[in-house]
C-alpha cells in the first residue's frame, strides 16, 4: 500500500486520458516517469492496473475499481482548490465582527458598506454586545475580530488602535438656560442624568471619573441604546451622556447642545481586537486594512 498522493495523481491522468504520453503532458512529466509511477503503484498493490491496447492504455477490472475511488477524490481536491482560490480572492466566505450597536452604526457602517461593494460574495455576520461579551465571542471563536472601546488589557488579544472618540453630556431645549454655563460635577448632579444601562466601557469610564472627584454618579434614567440616549435628551427628559461624534448632526442642527464642565473628560480610542498568535482569514485581514 502507498500513501504517495503523486502516484495516485499519475494513475488518475493515465486512466482519464488513456495515454501515458497525454498523462505526462498534463502533469509536466516525462513518459518514463509516468510509467515508473504506475509500476510503483501496481507493485504496492500487487495487481495490474493497466493493459496496453492500440490506442494507448486501458484499465483492468481492478484498475477500474480503483479509478472509481480516485476520481471522486480528485473531484473533491479540485473543488477544495477552487474554494481556497475563491476565499483568497474574496469571491466567497464570511466576515464575523463583534461590536456595540453604536459603533456599528456610527463608526463601522461606512466601512461595511464599502467592503460589501468591493466583495459582494462575502457574507457579513454582526454580533452585538458589550466589551466583555465581545471579548468572550472572540475567545470562543464566534467572531473573527471585535471593535471595542479601549483600553483593553488581555495577554491573549492583539488590539490595534483606531479612531479617537470624545464623550460628553448633552441636553435639549428644555435646559436651554445651561447653554454657555460651566457646570461643576456637583451642579450637574442636580439635574436628571441619563446613562446607557448596560456595562459599557463608556459608562464605566464616566463612573470612575466621578468617583475620582468624590461623587457618585447615579442616573435618573437608564436606557438600552445610544439612539434612546439621544432621543430622551431631545425630548427634555434629562441630560444624556453620549459620544460627541455620534451626535454631531444634532449638535450642528441645534437640536442638542453640549454641557460645559469644569473638569476634562478624557478622550477614548476605538480598538480593533483579534486573537494573538492566531492567523487571520484573508477576509478579516482585508477588512482591517480597509478600516485602518
Please say which residue of 57, 88, 119 terminates a domain: 88
* For residues 144-155, average pLDDT: 92
* For residues 217-240, average pLDDT: 94
Give pLDDT, residue 177.
96
Give pLDDT, residue 280.
87
* For residues 7-34, average pLDDT: 94
Please say which residue of 58, 88, 118 terminates a domain: 88
* For residues 134-154, average pLDDT: 92
Q: Confirm if 74 and 12 have CB atoms less than 8 A apart.
A: yes
User: Is the pLDDT at 105 greater than 60, yes or no?
Assistant: yes
Residues 120 and 202 in one domain: no
Give pLDDT, residue 120.
92
User: Is the pLDDT at 208 greater than 80, yes or no?
Assistant: yes
Q: What's the start-to-end Cα distance of the chain, in Å? A: 53
Please say which residue of 88, 118, 147 terminates a domain: 88
Residues 184 and 258 in one domain: yes
Give percent of the chain with pLDDT exceeding 70: 98
* For residues 217-244, average pLDDT: 94
Give pLDDT, residue 10.
95
Ranking 23-27, 135-139, 259-263, 278-282 by mean pLDDT, the lowest is 278-282
* For residues 13-38, average pLDDT: 94
Give pLDDT, residue 164.
94
Residues 80 and 124 in one domain: no
Write the CB contacts of 186 (distance below 8 Å, at least 6 apart in sequence): 215
Q: Give the number of domains in the chain.
A: 3
* For residues 53-73, average pLDDT: 93
* For residues 216-232, average pLDDT: 93
Write the CB contacts of 176 (distance below 8 Å, at least 6 apart in sequence): 257
Instruction: Tell me how far CA of residue 88 lies from CA of 224, 248, 251, 283, 292, in angstroms.
Output: 39, 39, 44, 8, 20
* For residues 40-63, average pLDDT: 93
Smallest Cα–Cα separation from 106: which of 58, 154, 156, 165?
165
pLDDT digits (tens, 9 = 90+) for 164-197: 999 999 999 999 999 999 999 999 999 999 998 7
Ranking 30-34, 110-114, 279-283 by mean pLDDT, the lowest is 279-283
- SS3 at position 281: coil
> Tell me, what CATH number does 245's domain have?
3.40.190.10
Residues 133 and 148 in one domain: yes
Range of the domain at 287: 94-164+270-291
CA distance 129 to 201: 11
* For residues 125-152, average pLDDT: 92
Residues 197 and 256 in one domain: yes
Residues 133 and 175 in one domain: no
Smallest Cα–Cα separation from 105: which of 8, 247, 266, 202?
247
Residues 132 and 217 in one domain: no
> Tell me, what CATH number does 14's domain have?
1.10.10.10
Q: Confirm if 275 and 281 have CB atoms less than 8 A apart.
A: no
pLDDT digits (tens, 9 = 90+) for 263-289: 999 999 999 999 998 888 889 998 999
Residues 210 and 186 in one domain: yes
Q: How confident is the model at residue 1 (pLDDT cuts 50, 70, 90)?
A: low
Residues 160 and 285 in one domain: yes
Residues 29 and 17 in one domain: yes
Ranking 1-15, 132-146, 211-225 by mean pLDDT, the lowest is 1-15
Residues 57 and 193 in one domain: no
CA distance 97 to 124: 8
DSSP 183: E
Amino acid at each position: 500500500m502507498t500513501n504517495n498522493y503523486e502516484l495516485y495523481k499519475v494513475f488518475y491522468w493515465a486512466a482519464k486520458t488513456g495515454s501515458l504520453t497525454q498523462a505526462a503532458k498534463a502533469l509536466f512529466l516525462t513518459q518514463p516517469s509516468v510509467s515508473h509511477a504506475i509500476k510503483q503503484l501496481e507493485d504496492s498493490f500487487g495487481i495490474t492496473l493497466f493493459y496496453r491496447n492500440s490506442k494507448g492504455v486501458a484499465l483492468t477490472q481492478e484498475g477500474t475499481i480503483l479509478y472509481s475511488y480516485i476520481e471522486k477524490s480528485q473531484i473533491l481536491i479540485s473543488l477544495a482548490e477552487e474554494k481556497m482560490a475563491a476565499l483568497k480572492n474574496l469571491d466567497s466566505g464570511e466576515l464575523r465582527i463583534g461590536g456595540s450597536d453604536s459603533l456599528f452604526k456610527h463608526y463601522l457602517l461606512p466601512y461595511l458598506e464599502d467592503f460589501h461593494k468591493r466583495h459582494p460574495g462575502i457574507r457579513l455576520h454582526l454580533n452585538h454586545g458589550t466589551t466583555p461579551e465581545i471579548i468572550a465571542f472572540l475567545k470562543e471563536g464566534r467572531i473573527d475580530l471585535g471593535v471595542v472601546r479601549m483600553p483593553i488589557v488581555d495577554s491573549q488579544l492583539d488590539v490595534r488602535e483606531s479612531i479617537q472618540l470624545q464623550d460628553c453630556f448633552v441636553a435639549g431645549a428644555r435646559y436651554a438656560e445651561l447653554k454657555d454655563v460651566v457646570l461643576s460635577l456637583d451642579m450637574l448632579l442636580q439635574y436628571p442624568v441619563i446613562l446607557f444601562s448596560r456595562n459599557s466601557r463608556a459608562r464605566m469610564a464616566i463612573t470612575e471619573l466621578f468617583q475620582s472627584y468624590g461623587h457618585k454618579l447615579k442616573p435618573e434614567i437608564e436606557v438600552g441604546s445610544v439612539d434612546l440616549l439621544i432621543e430622551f435628551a431631545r425630548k427634555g427628559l434629562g441630560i444624556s451622556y453620549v459620544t460627541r461624534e455620534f451626535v454631531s448632526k444634532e449638535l450642528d442642527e441645534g437640536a442638542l447642545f453640549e454641557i460645559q464642565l469644569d473638569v476634562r473628560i478624557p478622550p477614548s480610542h476605538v480598538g480593533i481586537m483579534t486573537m494573538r498568535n492566531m492567523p487571520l482569514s484573508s477576509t478579516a485581514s482585508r477588512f482591517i486594512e480597509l478600516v485602518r
